[in-house]
Amino acid sequence: MLAYTVRRVIATIPVMLIVALFVFSLLYIAPGDPAAIIAGDQATPDDVERIRASLGLDRPFLIRFTEWLFRVMQGDLGVSIFTNLPVSHMIKQRLEPTYSLMLLTLIIALTFAIPMGVLAAWKQGTWIDRLVMVFAVLGFSVPVFVVGYVLAYTFALQLDWFPVQGYTPIGTSFTGWLSNLMLPAVALGGAFIALIARITRATMLEVLSQDYVRTAKAKGVGQGAILFVHALKNAAVPIITIIGIGFAGLIGGAVVTESVFAIPGVGRLVVDAILRRDYPVIQGVVLMFSFTYVIVNLIVDLLYTVFDPRIRY
Partner 1 sequence: MPPLLDVQNLQTHFGTIDGVVRAVEGVSFHINAGETVGVVGESGCGKSVTAMSILRLIQTPPGKILFQGRDLLELSEPEMQAIRGKDISMIFQEPMTSLNPVLTVGRQIGETVVLHEGLSAREAEQRAVEMLTLVGIPAPGRRVREYPHQLSGGMRQRVMIAMALACSPQLLVADEPTTALDVTIQAQILELMRDLKTRVGAAIMLITHDLGVVAEMAQRVIVMYAGRKVEEGTVEEIFLNPLHPYTRGLMGAMPKLGSSLHETGRTKLTEIQGQVPSLRKPIIGCAFASRCPGVTDVCRKIAPAIEQKAPAHWVACHYAERAMAAA
* Residues binding partner 1 (CB under 8 A): 210-212, 214-223, 229-230, 233-234, 236, 307-310
Instruction: Compute the C-alpha angle 10/26/262, nearest 5°.
Output: 95
Is the Cβ–Cβ distance between 151 and 186 less than 8 Å?
Answer: yes
In angstroms, what CA-CA distances link 4 with 7, 8, 312?
Answer: 5, 6, 9
Least distance to partner 1 from the beta carbon of 213, Å?
8
| 80/234 with CB nearer partner 1 | 234
Q: Tell me how far apart the alpha carbons of residues 154 and 9 are, in angstroms, rounded to a whole number.
A: 45
Least CB distance to partner 1 at residue 246 (A): 23
Nearer to partner 1, 59 or 217 (CB): 217
Measured at the alpha carbon of residue 116, what is the angle toward residues 233 and 124, in degrees to the nearest 5?
A: 90
Kindly state the smallest distance separating residue 300's Cβ from partner 1, in Å: 17
Separation of alpha carbons 311 and 295, rounded Å: 20
Evaluated on CA atoms 274, 144, 109, 122, the torsion sign reads: negative
- Report in angstroms how near the CB of residue 54 gets to partner 1 at its nearest: 59
Nearer Cβ to partner 1, position 123 or 276? 123
Give me the least distance between CB of 200 and partner 1, in Å please. Answer: 16
**What's the min distance (Å) between Cβ of 210 and partner 1?**
7
Do the Cβ atoms of 118 and 232 come closer than 8 Å?
yes
Nearer to partner 1, 91 or 240 (CB): 240
Nearer to partner 1, 147 or 232 (CB): 232
Beta-bridge partners for 79: 86
- Residue 184 · residue 260 · CB < 8 Å: yes
Q: Considering beta carbons, is residue 147 or 236 the nearer one to partner 1?
A: 236
Phi, psi at residue 172, to the nearest 5°? -80, -50
**Four-point Cα dihedral 249, 255, 256, 261, nearest 10:** 130
Query: Residue 79 has what DSSP assignment?
Result: B
Chain Cα centroid distance, residue 145: 16
| Closest CB to partner 1 among residues 106, 114 | 114
Q: Please, what is the minimum distance in Å from the beta carbon of residue 274 to partner 1?
A: 45
Shortest CB 111 distance to partner 1, Å: 22
Following CA atoms 12, 17, 18, 19 in sequence, which dihedral angle do they give, to the nearest 10 degrees?
80
Nearer to partner 1 among residue 54 and residue 215 (C-beta) = 215
Inter-CA distances, 298 with 7, 93, 95, 309, Å: 11, 25, 20, 18
